Structure 1
Amino acid sequence: MKIGFPQKIKRFAGWALSSFVFLCFIFFPLNIAAKTLKWRKQPIKIAISSSLLEHANQISNNENIMSLIKRSAEKWEAVANIKFEFFISEKRSISTDAPDGINLITIESTPDNIAFLGEDIDKTPAKTKIFYSQNNIIEADIALNPYIKFSTDGKFGTFDFETILTHEIGHLIGLEHMNLYCSIMTPQLPKNGTYGIPQIFFRDLSQADISLIRSIYGTNHENCCSSVTGRITVVGEKTFPLQVWLEDAESGRLQAFNVSNSYGSFFIGGIEAGKYRLYVQGIKNNKIVSSELGTILLKPASTIRIFRTVEPKTANLSAEKIGFNAQLSTNSIIVNPSSTYLVYLSINNNSSQEIQIESTSPNIKPIADTIIVHESEGNLSVISIGLEILESLNEGAYTLKIRDKDAEFFLIGAIVTSDKGKIPKNFFLF
């Protein structure tokens, strides 16, 4: 549903940027680098440092540390052909320049661990190091920050232990960061209290995470896995990296996501059979590519090849942060069906008076005549709009789209509907 031209009001006071956590990892090649890293030998045996047991009361008052670690690992085991085994170890320091044969999760404040966590130690709750040869992971270590406050109950200002560990285990099995609002592999996860809600709502894998890990390790699940591959050529450009993603053709639910190489070649795997809409987006200097490329029908265990040429537009339109309850973040907005919410978008745009807001899902409806432009410091336009979330919206991640007279821009997976708990309405219809 399109929204008309926005109303402009006085500068918005009290705007807050959410507290970000910087999540890091290092791939440590033993010889030749590879495009995709994975474990060839399974089960993956993980040593849990006794230091974690000693810090247990600082992490959780009511849950067993081993159970928390296993639950984080089981999220990946449940969706792909991955198997872990855990044991307790007295080892406390990660490997430094060479593998020592032990895959370790530790929280001890040893010199090696602290040096590895780096200069941003006050902002880094954890960091993962991977040793690999060609495309084979040889060893991986996770260092949790002993000076960071973790919790399991959503305590304000702390980091959710399960969310952070699920993210780091994603690195341990070969995943890099994914610049996607809804991904567990986002480079910035929020503290408890961002958007005024606990971080437990961010613990789960998105469907994009699931498709990605299945494309590497496979799965025994029925109706999986298919793939889409090809190349998107941008007119007049030798190099133009692009985001490429699939959404369910009926509901708009985000299914899979990946990024092309510099020349537009892409591969999206691990996809369940179904009917999808294919999208592409990229920005280079003042040129933007952003469009739907059409509908595809994927049968089980099939591959579709797509080769397209697209025309870039000269425009200054982009958006990075989305907001809720007076906070801006690069994390998804969590919503419930049959509810209404006021959300904010930070937009880089030369003509904010001409912005329109849409959704790629028929079950998320921008509410007419509610769009307002809030002036903030600098050139950033912060726009608020009411969204109606229909009862028929299924659990998953969904995309918003902004449009001006020159171009359009997608906020991929910016809205996530969850059944983990009640997200109070902050906008009401009369």
Structure 2
Amino acid sequence: MTRPATIFWFLLALALFSTAAAAVDLEPNADGGRNPEARWRRGQIPIVFSTSLLKTGSSIRPDSDVQGAIRRSLETWEAAVDIEFQVSWSDKTAISPTGGSGDGISLVTIAPIAENLLVFSGEASEIAARTRVFYNRRGEISEADIVLNPYQQFSTDGAIGTFDLESTLVHEIGHLLGLDHSPLAGATMNEFQGKNGIFNLANFSPRTLSLDDLTRIRSLYPSSADDCCGSVDGRIAPASGRGGKSLSVWLEEPETGRIVVAARTAADGGFSIRGLTAGTYSVYLQDPAGGGQKLDDIQISRGKTTVYSKKTVSVARNYDVRFAGLIGQLSRVAVPLNGGRTYQLFLGGKNLRPEELTVGTTSPFIGVSKPSPARLDYGREMTVLTVEISAAAEIPLGEYTIYVENRDGTLDFLPGALTVEKFSNPWSITSFE
């Protein structure tokens, strides 16, 4: 399931892309609960596409390259790990009902029939798609049905106000394979998907898997070589010893600042990350209440598990940063940048006073100017800063972190809020390629 991102625009007070209420990521079967490490037992995965996706009058815009979007979305995951989709087509239109074992057919459909519309009732009518997963008694995935929302519009050409069909399919196929949502804003598997038109751009970024997506899918479907990857089992505990909060943890490449993978801690502070290439990683933490911290550098070795434990101190702060954007718009989706260009970046949150704050990134390839207040009215509940942000021409493609630092040393991070893409973003104010 993907949810549309909230957008704030100084010209349009009404939200063009509103936020739906929280919903389950993957619907469990009647035997209860979803196994977060569940996967298909075999590398050959059957998937059936409903002919409703090809019919005139569906929610997919005419002249869209539907079959091309389907083919590319499957190839994206096949190129990442050793799996193969066995594709067929059917006149079947309805997904399997919840509460049973399913019919054994993994169906992708957009048919506007009662069984499918039921999963988009209420505020869920705003989301792009939903995936319902079934498991066998061994806890393996036995079926996964994807239904695209017939209440929404899809396209393959970036038409404003529509969801990108290929981006939506790549995300939902990730769920079909067993992936949950990622806390990383720039990941394909992040829960928020922007419609085409956010920042006046086509939302093609989720078509390409992030390092986070690649690392997490490798953990479910590892290479045949047992020593291809390493892992980390960690625990983040507050100095008080009281847990209960879910924290965001992510690993970056120390040399580039590029994010490799992100995870959320359990109630006891534990987290586990698999599928890591051998090397050194910088560990970062974001506490929703206590701000962000850089913790340590850790070493990952092939075929081995690194055990990591850290006690942290929560620091009170009276500000936060929640959104980033371009051209006066703020959103939860990642801001796309191109190397060799400078952009005016907008940051929105609470009590963001430019005279008390500096804005920075964790990458040596990204430069940030001093902040200044935005000359736009976002209402009393939102303060907005602007900075000029420059990405070096040689910056690697991928996701990067931006942060706000108070003069008292407290930090607040937006991990993955910047994504360096090959897709062109023309909103640069200068180019130095």
Question: After TM superposition, is the score higher than 0.5?
Answer: yes
* Residue of structure 1 equivalent to 2:406: 404
* Residue of structure 2 equivalent to 1:162: 166
Q: Deviations over 1:163-208 (max 9, x none)?
A: 1111111111122222321011222211111111111233211111
Q: Does 1:277 align with 2:293?
A: no
Relative to total residues, which structure has the larger strand share, 1 or 2?
A: 1
Q: Does 1:244 align with 2:252?
A: no
- In 2, Cα distance between the equivalents of 1:200 and 1:137? 29
Q: Name structure 2 gaps, 5 residues minimum.
A: 1-8
Deviation at 1:220, TM superposition (A): 5.4
Deviation at 1:60, TM superposition (A): 5.8
- In 2, Cα distance between the equivalents of 1:191 and 1:81? 31
- In 2, Cα distance between the equivalents of 1:80 and 1:228? 20
Deviation at 1:267, TM superposition (A): 0.9
Q: Does 1:206 align with 2:210?
A: yes
SS in 1 for 2:76: helix
- In 2, Cα distance between the equivalents of 1:345 and 1:222? 44
CA contact (8 A) 2:106 2:143 kept: yes
**Following superposition of structure 1 onto structure 2, how do residues 381-420 of structure 1 map, counting pairs within 5 Å?**
381-406=383-408, 407-420=410-423
Amino acid across the alignment from 1:59: I
SS in 1 for 2:260: strand
Q: Which moved more, 1:341-350 or 1:93-102?
A: 341-350
Stretches of 4+ moved more than 6 A in 1? none
Q: Deviations over 1:6-63 (max 9, x none)?
A: xxxxxx9547656257596432234253332211134111111121122498636556
Q: Does 1:218 align with 2:222?
A: yes
* Residue of structure 1 equivalent to 2:71: 70
**Following superposition of structure 1 onto structure 2, how do residues 303-342 of structure 1 map, counting pairs within 5 Å?**
303-342=305-344
Q: Deviations over 1:77-106 (max 9, x none)?
A: 211233211101121111113201111011
Q: Deviations over 1:123-157 (max 9, x none)?
A: 12311111124631121111112232111111111
- In 1, Cα distance between the equivalents of 2:42 and 2:19? 32
Q: Does 1:149 align with 2:147?
A: no
- In 1, Cα distance between the equivalents of 2:141 and 2:134? 6
- In 1, Cα distance between the equivalents of 2:311 and 2:266? 15
CA contact (8 A) 1:18 1:327 kept: no
- Structure 1 pair 20–205 and aligned structure 2 pair: CA distance change class (3 A): farther
- Structure 1 pair 362–248 and aligned structure 2 pair: CA distance change class (3 A): same
Deviation at 1:364, TM superposition (A): 0.5
Q: Which moved more, 1:343-352 or 1:263-272?
A: 343-352
CA contact (8 A) 1:338 1:391 kept: yes
Q: Does 1:367 align with 2:369?
A: yes
Match of 2:134 among 131, 134, 142: 131
Q: Which moved more, 1:238-247 or 1:252-261?
A: 238-247
CA contact (8 A) 2:10 2:329 kept: no
- In 1, Cα distance between the equivalents of 2:181 and 2:16? 20
Deviation at 1:404, TM superposition (A): 1.0
Q: Does 1:174 align with 2:178?
A: yes
* Residue of structure 2 equivalent to 1:43: 44
- In 1, Cα distance between the equivalents of 2:427 and 2:378? 26
Q: Which has the higher contact order (CA 8 A, sep 6+)?
A: 1
* Residue of structure 2 equivalent to 1:26: 26
- In 1, Cα distance between the equivalents of 2:46 and 2:259? 33
* Residue of structure 2 equivalent to 1:5: none
CA contact (8 A) 1:231 1:308 kept: yes
- Structure 1 pair 402–41 and aligned structure 2 pair: CA distance change class (3 A): same
SS in 1 for 2:208: coil
- In 1, Cα distance between the equivalents of 2:12 and 2:93? 42
- Structure 1 pair 298–56 and aligned structure 2 pair: CA distance change class (3 A): farther
SS in 1 for 2:399: strand
Amino acid across the alignment from 1:293: L
- In 1, Cα distance between the equivalents of 2:56 and 2:46? 22
Amino acid across the alignment from 2:29: P
- How does the TM-score come out when normalised to structure 2? 0.88
* Residue of structure 1 equivalent to 2:258: 253
SS in 2 for 1:421: coil
CA contact (8 A) 1:117 1:143 kept: no
- In 1, Cα distance between the equivalents of 2:181 and 2:60? 25
Aligned residues with identical type, % of pairs: 31
- Structure 1 pair 221–161 and aligned structure 2 pair: CA distance change class (3 A): farther
Match of 1:426 among 423, 426, 429: 429
Q: How many residues are paired up?
A: 414
- In 2, Cα distance between the equivalents of 1:424 and 1:255? 27
Deviation at 1:64, TM superposition (A): 4.8
Q: Which moved more, 1:17-26 or 1:130-139?
A: 17-26
- Structure 1 pair 194–101 and aligned structure 2 pair: CA distance change class (3 A): same
Deviation at 1:258, TM superposition (A): 0.6
- In 2, Cα distance between the equivalents of 1:211 and 1:349? 36
* Residue of structure 2 equivalent to 1:9: none
